[in-house]
């Protein structure tokens, strides 16, 4: 009986530790659409529709009352990737910038450092989630999963990230980004890649640097020993019917 009670207690603890992203997953499936905007191929978000859904606001309250401390590394990665993307969407829904998420802030007070929501009763910003949590976990795949509501960002995945599928989801995201001209293209024998690789070059050092990391997914890049950065399009990844 004591062993049964211990097993039941462990199960309840594990259940309590998991955040339920099913409502968020459904919102993404309903309101993220593949399309083109300003000539850029991207997954586009119907911010107007997603903001009107009662489930969207309910997620903010659930996050504010949720403690992610008991999560293991893979669970924490999935949780904070979803949280970052949810809060980025929420900033756009709440502030309704017309052109870019960057319009929500300014040079002295950028949007990345503004309060985006609460987790476990503590106010968090996109900057905090990205730099103080996710990047410190040593998984460069996050850079292809977190999306700051902009056209040149990797595509917002039309489903929530879940621990049991996370590594495959991240691998898919990397492949999709590197097969999109906004992520990588070759023109006139010059390799052009997203500014993401420049901004976060330190995160690819465990792989030998940016180019060795790229060659893991694009062996045909073995002939390149340098690259140039693409212009970054900060315009909103907004879906318009």
- pLDDT at residue 97 in the model: 97
- pLDDT at residue 141 in the model: 98
- pLDDT at residue 240 in the model: 86
pTM exceeding 0.85: yes
- pLDDT at residue 241 in the model: 74
Average pLDDT of adjacent 10-residue blocks, the chain of 241 residues: 38 60 98 95 96 97 97 97 98 97 95 98 98 98 98 98 98 98 97 98 98 98 97 96 74
Q: Do the beta carbons of residue 47 and residue 95 sit within 8 Å?
A: no
Instruction: Supply 233's token pair.
Output: 């399009």
- pLDDT at residue 140 in the model: 97
Domain spans, the chain? 20-229
Q: What digits encode the pLDDT tens for the residues 77-122?
A: 999 999 999 999 999 999 999 999 999 999 899 999 999 999 999 9
C-alpha to C-alpha distance for 73 and 12, rounded to whole angstroms: 19
CB atoms within 10 A of CB 10: 10
Q: What angle do CA 104, 107, 108 make, to 5 degrees?
A: 100
CA distances from 192 to 48, 151, 177, 195 (A): 34, 17, 13, 9
């Amino acid at each position: 009986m004591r062993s049964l009670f211990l097993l039941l207690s462990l199960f309840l603890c594990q259940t309590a530790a998991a955040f339920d992203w099913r409502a968020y997953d459904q919102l993404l499936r309903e309101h993220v659409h593949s399309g083109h905007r300003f000539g850029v191929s991207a997954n586009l978000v119907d911010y107007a529709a997603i903001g009107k859904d009662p489930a969207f606001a309910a997620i903010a309250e659930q996050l504010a009352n949720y403690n992610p401390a008991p999560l293991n590394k893979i669970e924490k990665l999935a949780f904070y990737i979803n949280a970052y993307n949810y809060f980025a969407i929420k900033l756009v829904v709440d502030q309704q910038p017309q052109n870019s998420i960057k319009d929500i802030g300014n040079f002295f007070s950028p949007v990345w450092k503004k309060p985006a929501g609460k987790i476990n009763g503590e106010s968090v910003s996109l900057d905090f989630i990205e730099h103080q949590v996710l990047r410190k976990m040593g998984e460069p795949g996050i850079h292809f999963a977190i999306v700051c509501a902009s056209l040149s960002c990797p595509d917002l995945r039309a489903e929530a990230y879940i621990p049991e599928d996370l590594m495959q989801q991240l691998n898919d995201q990397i492949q999709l980004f590197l097969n999109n001209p906004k992520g990588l293209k070759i023109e006139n024998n010059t390799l052009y890649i997203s500014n993401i690789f420049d901004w976060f070059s330190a995160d690819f050092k465990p792989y030998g640097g940016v180019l060795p990391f790229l060659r893991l997914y694009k062996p045909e890049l073995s002939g390149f020993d340098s690259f140039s950065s693409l212009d970054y399009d900060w315009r909103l990844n907004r879906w318009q019917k």
